[in-house]
Amino acid sequence: NAMLQWQRTGFHFQPEKNWMNDPNGPVYYKGWYHLFYQYNPDGAIWGNKIAWGHAASRDLLRWRHLPVAMSPDQWYDINGVWSGSATVLPDGRIVMLYTGSTNASVQVQCLAFPTDPSDPLLTNWTKYENNPVMYPPPGVGDKDFRDPTTAWFDGSDDTWRLVIGSKDDRHAGMVMTYKTKDFIDYELVPRLLHRVPGTGMWECIDLYPVGGASGIDMTDAVAVASTNGGGDVLHVMKESSDDDRHDYYALGRYDAANNMWTPLDTDADVGVGLRYDWGKFYASKTFYDPAKKRRVLWGWVGETDSERADVAKGWASLQSIPRTVVLDTKTGSNLLQWPVQEVETLRTNSTDLGQVTIDHGSVFPLSLHRATQLDGGLRTHFCHDETRSSRANDIVKRVVGNTVPVLNGEDLSVRVLVDHSIVESFAMEGRSTVTSRVYPTEAIYANAGVYLFNNATGGRVTATSLIIHEMDSSYNQAYMASM
Ligand code: DQQ
């Protein structure tokens, strides 16, 4: 349906067509960033034939679409090649672990390798001949055992370790640790790494260190901790809650020797406290980028319109803008997520409106050339009111948001990315984020605008600084041709 094609993004990742969900196996290899993703080659809805779509980029923005990397073609993954993660070995080789849904819909873990390690695009993948390598352990449901993490090396017993999420028979979310020397034989570590009652199935676990301004590789953090106890490094644990479809994280301490992860604040434990994003954002995954020494987060941003509309337009879902993740050293109690710096290379016309004061009940239109793709910063109050985003009636429209710490001496600040049918906002340098899908029926291209308004019943609001950048598209034909 050509009428709906304006909804396709200019700089957020999406496949050329069809359904996408979770980001899978993000990894940097021989100068290229790779993104795999849950993909249905047959249509714009999720199905039981999920494959791994694949794209590669030199800058996390301009993507080259590649052939499907893995299809459900073996008894152990015939009902779906589900989510998984990449591990880079010390010699540079890549090991991919993913969940297969078997011919009996049992969730098992499987191994795959690049067919040609000299190919920087990692086009072809070979599944290990003796897959699967892990079955649900005793006491764990056949359908509650999925999404292996990236593995890290632990020198104390020379094993690689990884974790897998599940739930127990009392609806507690939980994380199991496995050890392996060769990625073929695995040993389940007897005690759980973590468990939180009442939180249900934990999908797509992520576990990674955060500390200073740059990212930290998990293997490096474990090695450092074994000599000095870890110092200021904290470990983030994230789960994607199958109960309410949000990504929850907590900051804590990882004790490798005792296979224990403990939250800093038990009231804000995994699944009950902080979320990465208060809008539409799920099944996310980070990876360590050795080229820029940072940790980068991807999240699946689904549609909030109807399945019928998705089928009509022939595609569904976006990935969030890749976000750099660091510890907020000012509060010490949350992460900071921020669009990767490469996003700034897409800024074209910039408008600096300086200081703007708006009276209560008034609207201030901003004159711009184009309002379909924007990146802007503003110091004022913050909210996503989706109820005003469309006149269509087949859409989930809510008011989504959250409190964000503003410390003494700080002003409230917000950065908002607008890209056709997605609005992604970062409050206070990324202490809190909100992502919404928007489907305006009239405010499209030339009819779209940006307004400041003050809905308060009394009082003026002053934006002390307001800058708007019109954004170029990353899907630039000339660039694609030169790749
Ligand atoms: N999506 C995958 C699963 C995962 C879920 C299947 C999360 O591996 O648990 O498409 O969205």
- Tell me the pLDDT tens digit for each residue of 340-370: 999 999 999 899 988 899 999 888 888 777 7
> How far away, in angstroms, is 81 Cα from ligand 1 center?
9
Residue in the structure block whose two tokens are 């474990």: 222
pLDDT at 480: 45
Helix (H, G, I), strand (E, B) or coil at 268: helix
pLDDT at 381: 53
Give the number of other CB atoms < 10 A from CB of residue 16: 11
Instruction: Quick: pLDDT tens for 459-479.
Output: 888 888 999 999 999 875 444
pLDDT at 374: 75
Closest CA to 175 of 157, 188, 160, 159: 188
Is the pLDDT at 482 greater than 80? The verdict is: no
Is the pLDDT at 121 greater than 60? The verdict is: yes
Structure tokens at 477: 């034909």
Q: Which atom of ligand 1 is nearest to the CA of 165?
A: 9
Contacts of 292 (CB under 8 A, 6+ apart): none
pLDDT > 90 fraction of the chain, expressed in percent and rounded: 80
Q: Which atom of ligand 1 is nearest to the CA of 22?
A: 11
Active site members: 22
Distance separating alpha carbons of residues 81 and 209, to the nearest angstrom: 28
Q: Which of 97, 142, 147 to mutate to test the pocket of ligand 1 (most atoms within 8 A of CB)?
A: 147
Ligand 1 binding pocket, CB closer than 6 Å: 21-22, 38, 50, 82-83, 99, 146-147, 203-204, 240, 283
Instruction: Quick: pLDDT tens for 172-185.
Output: 999 999 999 999 99
> How far away, in angstroms, is 105 Cα from ligand 1 center?
13
Please check whether residue 54 is in contact with residue 351, taking contact to mean a CB–CB distance below 8 angstroms: no
pLDDT at 365: 87
Instruction: Quick: pLDDT tens for 76-105.
Output: 999 999 999 999 999 999 999 999 999 999
Q: What is the end-to-end Cα distance of the chain in Å, rounded?
A: 29
Give the number of other CB atoms < 10 A from CB of residue 197: 13
Q: Residue whose CA is closest, atom 6 of ligand 1?
A: 82
> How far away, in angstroms, is 398 Cα from ligand 1 center?
25
Q: Which atom of ligand 1 is nearest to the CA of 38?
A: 10
Mean local confidence (pLDDT), 322-341: 96
Amino acid, res. 297: L
> How far away, in angstroms, is 203 Cα from ligand 1 center?
7
Q: Residue whose CA is closest, atom 10 of ligand 1?
A: 82
Instruction: Quick: pLDDT tens for 14-23.
Output: 999 999 999 9
Distance separating alpha carbons of residues 37 and 81, to the nearest angstrom: 10
Task: Give kind and range of the element (H or E) at residue 125.
Answer: strand 125-127
Q: How confident is the model at residue 27 (pLDDT cuts 50, 70, 90)?
A: very high
Task: Report which of residues 377 and 46 the model is more confident about.
Answer: 46
Give the strand pairing for 18-29 and 315-316: parallel
> How far away, in angstroms, is 99 Cα from ligand 1 center?
9
Q: Which atom of ligand 1 is nearest to the CA of 201?
A: 9
pLDDT at 1: 62
Highest mean pLDDT pick, 308-312, 373-377, 450-454: 308-312
What's the pTM? 0.95
Strands lying side by side in the sheet with 125-127: 81-88, 94-101, 107-114, 125-127
Q: Which atom of ligand 1 is nearest to the CA of 240?
A: 7
> How far away, in angstroms, is 117 Cα from ligand 1 center?
27
